[in-house]
Amino acid sequence: MFWQKFSPPLATSRGGLRALLLTLLALALSEALWHQGALESLDQWYNDSWFRLAGQRHTVERVALVKLDEATLAEFPDEPLVFWGPHYAQAVQTLHAAGVPVVGLDLLFSSSPEQWLAKLGGVPTLAARQFDQPLRQALASGRVVVAGMQAKDELLLPAPDYLVALPDFDITRFVGAADLQADADGVLRAYSPAVPRTDAATGLQLRSLPFLLALHASGQTASSSHWQFAGRPVAIGARLRLSYAGPPGTVPAVSMRDLLRPDALSLPQVQALRGKVAILGASYGGMNDVHITPYGRGLGQTPLMLGMEIQAQTVEALLQGHWLDPTPTSTRIALALLLVLPAALFWWQQRLWRGLLLFALLCLLAAGLSYGALGQQSLLSTGHLQLTALLAFVAIYAWRFTHGERERQRIRQMFSRYVEPGVVEALIHADHMPQLGGERCEMTVLFTDIRNFTTISEQLTPEEVVEMLNHYFSTACAALTEQGACIDKFIGDAIMAEFGAPLKHPDHARRALIAALQLRSVAEDFGGWMQQRFAGRNLPAFRIGIGIHTGQAISGNIGTAQRMEYTAIGDTVNLASRLEGMTKAMGCVILASQDTLHAAGPGFVLGRTDTITVRGRSHPTEVFEVIAIEKGASL
């Protein structure tokens, strides 16, 4: 129950300001946590989920794989891989002939056949020294990038026999680091143009293998420190978030065996390589070059991606300009305010279950925006948006609970004197709480007093007068509050009551007329009680008069700092009081204005009518005697 609606309405500027301030505090805390990296794991989980949800996001057009697979190994079962130089050279020559501009060898040639034979103690012959001549010629063409690695303590380069074959011995341009730099959780999401470490012995800092391939394919030099791909700038110290084209198997691939066939250039899969960057690497079982990508974080079996395919997807991303940029701070903050601030204003007014529903919708919307941003090559922090919403949600409802409980108690204390407890609770949990400082609204005011009260009181003792009034007021007020009236005050023998304030009833005029008819019945019954209680006292017959008018009035707390009470003031109140005074002159019990009857609608039996001019009002008022409610009319 205490989690239901309990705060002042948003209509007050103070309430809106509080909601705004709490939202800004929530945003500031969320921003601080985001900058400290506290939301990084959550955002990574979301972004990885978006990749898995999207599946293959676009077709790979600029790069292809050449797989050294089991089928290729089966062609030369008796040849150690260290002696495969001529086969690699043939594959490279076929690729060049097929129109491939640059080839990447994702293979670490740490030893040459000459070195291998020397380790065995043999004396290399001329044939042995010329065995790898085709591969060295391929490397000297300037259209091949070979792999190296920047280990923790040393730089692993190809064997010197291959390095000397590179054009101008330019290691920086033709040797690319095949290192894959995973995030702290082991998932490969980003790449750098250069390995972050510089070799202490040589002073070399290798460019990454896919970055060198993209440079060659785009005609840029490796010696610079700033480049552009698809119109987007890249600096050497950057770490770019990879926008994967798709899950494992997205990059088109051919078997190296196809390139070694005599008719290789006539094969459709080879002809399809024209204009593409080709990466030749190992893909046979047991080579242990598989890695976790965002596609490998799902439940169940996790698909791993070949290292060479990660290199290929990186080349594709560079050439197409497909890498992910974080959303600018200004955009992130503006979006958070755009989403959360309207929700905060809603939470300030609504009950908890409605607030929870909106919070859930906000979380879904934040996730949807993040997923859409990924398609625009942007990283939008889902965690930041959701945390801002969560903090604002908790702060607002916590404030409303702690401060609203005191407000509810104040409302109870204020209105329990005027209306029955059920109405007080309805006030507290209504969509709009009363503004105790005063508000203008349309209401119906009812005045009633006892006829010949002076004569009656002269014939009774003071104690008997009090007894009579207490008994009458209790029964009269019960009839009024039954219709939702607020008992404003007792003025001697008179009662002032309002309908439609503070509890809003759209049918307040109809309620007032029905209450007046019930009040007349109460007075008739009370007349019988008076005859029995004060039998033989020759008291005049007990009669009452009731005046009713509908219009605009101000209701709220009125008084001084030392003494205040809830009441209504205005011309509407004055006219209702005047109508009650005119019932005696017109010889009727209930006298209502035309405004009240118009607002109440049809269904009432009317009697005498008159047009009166009330002192202080410039326009005459048409008034009607209300006799009864028609049969079949709704109460």
Give me the pLDDT at residue 487, please.
87
Q: DSSP 3-state assignment of 418?
A: coil
Q: DSSP 3-state assignment of 440?
A: strand
Give me the pLDDT at residue 416, please.
58
Give me the pLDDT at residue 251, please.
96
Q: Is the dihedral of CA 25, 26, 27, 30 positive or negative?
A: positive
Domain spans of the chain, in order of start: 13-53+327-412, 59-321, 437-629
**Owner of token pair 């010696």:** 223
What are the residues whose beta carbons fall under 8 Å from the beta carbon of 232, sequence distance 6 or more? 321, 323
Amino acid at 146: V
Report the C-alpha gap between 220 and 102 in whole angstroms: 13
User: What residues are paired with 67 via a beta bridge?
Assistant: 255, 281
Q: What is the distance in angstroms between the CA of the first residue and the CA of the last residue of the chain? A: 31
Among 379, 397, 267, which residue's Cα sits nearest to residue 325? 379
Encode burial over 401-428: b for 16+ CB neighbours within 10 A, e otherwise: eeebeebbeebeebbeebbbeebbeebb
Q: List the structure tokens of 244.
A: 């994967």
Give me the pLDDT at residue 5, please.
37
Q: List the structure tokens of 206.
A: 């290798």
Report the C-alpha gap between 459 and 464 in whole angstroms: 10
What are the residues whose beta carbons fall under 8 Å from the beta carbon of 190, sequence distance 6 or more? 181, 183, 239, 240, 241, 242
- According to DSSP, the β-strands at 103-106 and 144-150 are parallel
Report the C-alpha gap between 348 and 8 in whole angstroms: 8
Give me the pLDDT at residue 206, please.
86
- According to DSSP, the β-strands at 226-229 and 439-450 are unpaired
Q: List the structure tokens of 286.
A: 């047991």
Which residue spans within 31-91 are E strands per DSSP?
A: 63-68
- Establish whether the linkage from the previous residue to 502 is cis, with ω within 30° of 0: yes
**Owner of token pair 């980003």:** 190
- Establish whether the linkage from the previous residue to 294 is cis, with ω within 30° of 0: no
CATH class, domain 437-629, is alpha beta
Q: Which residues of the chain are under the pLDDT cut of 70?
A: 1-15, 118-129, 199-202, 298-302, 404-438, 560-564, 633-635
Report the C-alpha gap between 109 and 166 in whole angstroms: 13
In DSSP notation, 483-503 reads: TT-EEEEEETTEEEEEESSSS
Give me the pLDDT at residue 617, please.
72
What are the residues whose beta carbons fall under 8 Å from the beta carbon of 428, sequence distance 6 or more? 5, 6, 408, 411, 412
Give me the pLDDT at residue 2, please.
33
CA distances from 329 to 233, 367, 380, 384 (A): 20, 18, 10, 11
Report the C-alpha gap between 312 and 94 in whole angstroms: 19
